[in-house]
Amino acid sequence: MLEMVGGSFQPLLGFTLLLLCVKPGLGSSIGEGDAEVGCIGRERQALLKFKQGIVDDFGILSSWGNEEDKTDCCRWEGVQCSNLTGHVVMLDLGAYGYNESRYLRGKISHSLLGLQHLRHLDLSGNNFEGESMPEFIGSFTKMRYLNLSSTHFFGTLPCQLGNLSNLNSLDLSGNSHMSSENLDWLSHLSSLTHLNLNGANLSKVIQWPEAITKLPSLIELHLKSCDLPSLATPSLSLVNSSASLVLLDLSFNQLHTASIYPWLFNFSNSLVHLDLSYNLLRGSLLGAFGNMVSLAYLDLSKNRLGGRIPTHFSGSLVHLELSNNFIRGSIPGTFGNMTSLASLGLSRNRLKGKIPKSLSSSLVYLDLSGNQIQGSIPDTFGNMTSLRTLCLCSNQLEGEIPKSFNNLCKLQTLELCRNNLDGVLAKNLLPCANDTLEILDLSRNRFIGSFPDFIGFSSLTRLELGYNQLNGNLPESIAQLSQLQVLNMPWNSLQGTVSEAHLFNLSKLQHFDLAFNSLLTLNFSSDWVPQFQLTEILLASCKLGPRFPGWLRSQKGVGWLDISGSGISDVIPNWFWNFSSHLYRLNISNNEITGIVPNLSLRFAHFAQMDLSSNRFEGSIPLFLFRAGWLDLSKTCFQGQFLYCVQLVVELWPISTSQITYCQESYPTVGHDGKE
Ligand SMILES: *[C@@H]1O[C@H](CO)[C@@H](O)[C@H](O)[C@H]1NC(C)=O
Ligand SMILES: *[C@@H]1O[C@H](CO)[C@@H](O)[C@H](O)[C@H]1NC(C)=O
Ligand SMILES: *[C@@H]1O[C@H](CO)[C@@H](O)[C@H](O)[C@H]1NC(C)=O
Ligand SMILES: *[C@@H]1O[C@H](CO)[C@@H](O)[C@H](O)[C@H]1NC(C)=O
Ligand SMILES: *[C@@H]1O[C@H](CO)[C@@H](O)[C@H](O)[C@H]1NC(C)=O
Ligand SMILES: *[C@@H]1O[C@H](CO)[C@@H](O)[C@H](O)[C@H]1NC(C)=O
Ligand SMILES: *[C@@H]1O[C@H](CO)[C@@H](O)[C@H](O)[C@H]1NC(C)=O
Ligand SMILES: *[C@@H]1O[C@H](CO)[C@@H](O)[C@H](O)[C@H]1NC(C)=O
Ligand SMILES: *[C@@H]1O[C@H](CO)[C@@H](O)[C@H](O)[C@H]1NC(C)=O
Ligand SMILES: *[C@@H]1O[C@H](CO)[C@@H](O)[C@H](O)[C@H]1NC(C)=O
Ligand SMILES: *[C@@H]1O[C@H](CO)[C@@H](O)[C@H](O)[C@H]1NC(C)=O
Ligand SMILES: *[C@@H]1O[C@H](CO)[C@@H](O)[C@H](O)[C@H]1NC(C)=O
């Protein structure tokens, strides 16, 4: 059979072969009607041999077989034949086509070469771990579509791929164990419109732009995370290069400005989608991107770009992401005229000035956090009724939350933290977002008034109102926020009592911070077993005492516990030293806690910080405490030890307490140093 490899067959030859193969007694269905073209025996055998090389844990190929009722291979799972010639033209066995958790394993047999009329081969998502990509794949001269993405191959990209001269679409992405030193073979693929090599290691391919330039039909090019080398002096002539290129993704490489700009702007008229995020682009050439007239999607985030935001962008821009650069100046008012703009990310730059009155009313996502923007939040924001995410944290904004925010009915995330905003928080804040709001962070401003009612905010997962001047009681209605994971409102002037009635239904709560509301009393019955398992309990300076809070015993996963200065004058219970093995930060200082600390074989998390100072412990200092990274026993009178009412602070590791939250990031674990 293998003598046919590499040759191209005329239909006539194919037909005679068909007859030859049918005679030796391969089921009746095929030969019967002349008009009915079924499966060709030779190709059937090739497929069965391919199946032999495959480990099929999930029975994906169960329709493939020798049995009487399975003779027509054109009806097998993933197989398609030409209804004119009967040849197998498509093998569509991409794992994701079925079910993400079903895939094939094993080896790709040479027998596949029997399918010389194959035009479409998709084996994506299957697991050929440890195998190299077969070189014979270059012999399918009729191949138009080849998808071997995420197949776990390793080794080099075979240059034989360059023989697939009819190929339109080549997807080898997601094979991070594959590399190439040379992409010269690409230049033979003159029909190629889609190329995806995301994740392949191309760090040695100095000539990668040249290789791409030789693809006159290219529409989509994905070279994300390819470790592409930067070219110091581009000597490119890309005159012929794809005026057709529509999508270019070069993100997550280490490209410098000089190696990319000179040829990039030759695609100016065609590019619709351009992603250069996570590179090393410098300079103030942003204006050149403004001249790309067809752009709908532009991501330049996480580079080192300076300069100002251009006043003109393509009118069809939908997505603009410039965050994490060194961009200066103010936000141009022209965004108000960009009626298609849905997503605008300018966070973590050096922007100054005021927010323009007019920003595109079609915005769904707006992130201006981490700049030096001043002035107030414009009333006109209430006109952006499509807004789902609004992040303005870490600026110098003043004034009140505009009343017009009452019109925002789709808001999911509102983060205004770390500004100088003030005014009375409305009792019914954001009434129209009651069904949608998930994250509300107004912390570190100057808001006054009583705690808002969040009745009906059934989706709220994170509520941060800390470091303001809110007073009054915590309403019992917070018990209805059954999705709440984070409830942080330290450093306010809250009063009254927090009881089980507030918290009984918050089964998902993890972070609970009411610290430094010194008028606030927490009164839970000592045998209360809450529904939640907290990881952070910060109640410093609240009134917890005089009894030691018994409900803490149920919290087995606590990492950070601060009940300092909370009026506890009680014997420390024995269970306390064993209640959580995750503890990395403990502060029970400034109470009147008495009792003996037993010498336990307790293990702390790395670099744990322990503050037991200003209490009235008795007995000797237990040695296990010295396993902490930072220990404060000052002003506490352990006895019977040579250290006797002596200040003792052992510092083995400095712990950073800086906490900066930004919109794009998930909720950070505070204070726990990442150095473990
Ligand atoms: C082959 O069959 C398909 C579907 O049965 C049909 O859409 C297509 O037109 C047929 N092609 C030819 C060339 O007959
Ligand atoms: C290749 O297959 C993957 C997984 O099924 C899919 O996501 C991707 O879009 C395919 N590539 C092309 C070019 O069709
Ligand atoms: C996917 O496959 C797994 C395992 O065979 C099965 O449990 C699951 O129900 C399947 N899911 C779908 C959507 O078919
Ligand atoms: C396929 O490509 C390889 C390497 O590029 C080449 O040596 C070989 O001759 C080609 N085979 C055919 C059948 O074109
Ligand atoms: C790519 O391969 C080179 C060696 O050829 C290696 O030094 C480099 O770390 C690899 N890059 C990645 C991202 O794995
Ligand atoms: C860009 O195109 C112009 C003509 O359109 C050509 O003169 C120039 O050399 C090209 N630049 C590069 C780097 O290819
Ligand atoms: C550009 O195209 C012309 C004609 O199509 C060809 O002669 C020339 O060699 C090509 N230049 C490059 C750099 O590929
Ligand atoms: C918006 O467009 C209108 C009409 O095209 C123009 O008059 C106005 O100056 C533009 N506004 C800005 C801020 O560019
Ligand atoms: C925007 O809102 C303001 C007040 O909130 C209103 O006066 C103005 O007409 C609105 N503009 C548009 C375009 O809807
Ligand atoms: C949200 O508020 C609207 C009116 O303000 C009300 O009709 C709706 O019932 C509320 N939704 C919930 C879940 O409370
Ligand atoms: C408690 O939470 C559940 C959902 O987790 C909700 O259905 C129920 O109404 C809540 N009960 C009260 C009293 O809020
Ligand atoms: C704590 O709650 C109990 C009832 O559960 C009550 O008798 C007691 O007075 C409360 N203490 C304070 C300080 O509110």
- Number of helices followed by number of strands (H, E) in the chain: 7, 40
Q: Which atom of ligand 6 is nearest to the CA of 263?
A: 13
Q: Which residues on neighbouring strands pair with residue 439, listed in sequence order? A: 413, 462
227 lines ligand 5 (CB under 6 A): yes
Residue nearest atom 4 of ligand 10, based on CA coordinates: 432
For residue 81, the surrounding DSSP H or E stretch is strand 79-81
HEC sequence for 2-34: HHHCCCCCCHHHHHHHHHHHHCCCCCCCCCCCC
| CA proximity to 309, closest of 330, 282, 281 | 330
Mean pLDDT of the region 491-517: 95
Q: d(Cα 129, Cα 119) in Å, to the nearest integer? A: 25
- Tell me what pLDDT residue 530 has: 95
Q: d(Cα 242, Cα 245) in Å, to the nearest integer? A: 5
Q: Which atom of ligand 2 is nearest to the CA of 125?
A: 4
Residue nearest atom 1 of ligand 10, based on CA coordinates: 434
Residue 146 CA, ligand 2 centroid: distance in Å: 9
Checking 155-159 for CB contacts under 8 A at 24+ apart, the result is: 155/179, 156/132, 156/180, 156/181, 157/133, 157/197, 157/200, 158/132, 158/133, 158/134, 159/184, 159/185
Residue 610 pLDDT more than 60? yes
Residue 360 CA, ligand 9 centroid: distance in Å: 12
96 lines ligand 3 (CB under 6 A): no
431 lines ligand 10 (CB under 6 A): yes
Residue 524 CA, ligand 12 centroid: distance in Å: 8
* DSSP string for 481-534: -TT--EEE--SSEEEEEEEHHHHTT-TT--EEE-TT-TEEEEE--TT---S---
Most confident region among 121-135, 230-244, 642-656 by mean pLDDT: 121-135
Phi, psi dihedrals of residue 654, rounded to the nearest 5°: -75, 135
Give this prediction's pTM.
0.83
Q: d(Cα 200, Cα 412) in Å, to the nearest integer? A: 37
Per-residue pLDDT tens over the stretch 147-156 = 999 999 999 9
Q: How many other β-carbons are positioned within 10 Å of the β-carbon of residue 660? A: 12
User: Up-side HSE of residue 133: CA atoms within 13 Å toward CB?
Assistant: 30
Domains of the chain, CATH where assigned: 537-662 (3.80.10.10)
Angle at the Cα of 419 (from 413 to 424), degrees rounded to 5? 80
Per-residue pLDDT tens over the stretch 49-79 = 999 999 999 999 999 998 888 889 999 999 9
Mean pLDDT (the chain) is 84
Per-residue pLDDT tens over the stretch 542-583 = 999 899 999 999 999 999 999 999 999 999 998 888 777 788
Per-residue pLDDT tens over the stretch 174-207 = 999 999 999 999 999 999 999 999 999 999 998 8
Residue 58 CA, ligand 3 centroid: distance in Å: 10
Of residues 602 and 261, more confidence is placed in 261
Residues touching ligand 1 (Cβ under 6 Å) are 83-84
Residue nearest atom 6 of ligand 6, based on CA coordinates: 239
Residue nearest atom 14 of ligand 9, based on CA coordinates: 383
Residue 453 pLDDT more than 60? yes
436 lines ligand 10 (CB under 6 A): no
Residue 334 CA, ligand 8 centroid: distance in Å: 7
- Tell me what pLDDT residue 607 has: 67
Residue 303 pLDDT more than 80? yes
- Tell me what pLDDT residue 663 has: 40
Query: Among 258-262, 270-274, 476-480, which is the least confidently predicted range?
Result: 258-262
* DSSP string for 110-163: GGGGG-TT--EEE-TT-B-TTPBPPGGGGG-TT--EEE-TT---BEEPPGGGGG
- Tell me what pLDDT residue 259 has: 65
Q: d(Cα 358, Cα 379) in Å, to the nearest integer? A: 10
337 lines ligand 9 (CB under 6 A): no
Residue 523 CA, ligand 12 centroid: distance in Å: 6
525 lines ligand 12 (CB under 6 A): yes
Q: What share of the chain is helix, strand, coil (3-state, %, to 5)?
A: 20, 20, 60
Strands 54-55 and 105-106: antiparallel
Token pair 């330039």 is at which residue?
Answer: 213
Residue 238 CA, ligand 6 centroid: distance in Å: 6
Q: Which atom of ligand 10 is nearest to the CA of 456?
A: 14
- Tell me what pLDDT residue 290 has: 84
For residue 585, the surrounding DSSP H or E stretch is strand 585-587
Residues 6 or more apart whose CB falls under 8 angstroms from that of 609 comprise: 584, 585, 586, 587, 628, 629, 630, 631, 655
Residue 252 CA, ligand 5 centroid: distance in Å: 14
Residue 641 pLDDT more than 80? no
Token pair 């509102």 is at which residue?
Answer: 414
- Tell me what pLDDT residue 233 has: 53
Residue nearest atom 3 of ligand 5, based on CA coordinates: 203
Kindly identify the ligand whose nearest atom is closest to the C-alpha of 89.
1
Q: d(Cα 140, Cα 121) in Å, to the nearest integer? A: 10
Token pair 């985030």 is at which residue?
Answer: 301
Q: Which residues on neighbouring strands pair with residue 640, listed in sequence order? A: none
Residue nearest atom 9 of ligand 8, based on CA coordinates: 334
Q: Which residues on neighbouring strands pair with residue 175, listed in sequence order? A: none
Distances 248 to 145, 354, 537, 549 between C-alpha atoms, Å: 20, 34, 47, 59
Per-residue pLDDT tens over the stretch 210-225 = 788 788 899 999 999 9
Retrieve residue 159's tokens: 């240059």
Mutate to test the pocket of ligand 3, among 56, 57, 102, 104 (most ligand atoms within 8 A of CB): 102
Residue 17 pLDDT more than 50? no
Q: d(Cα 547, Cα 534) in Å, to the nearest integer? A: 20
Q: d(Cα 507, Cα 481) in Å, to the nearest integer? A: 10
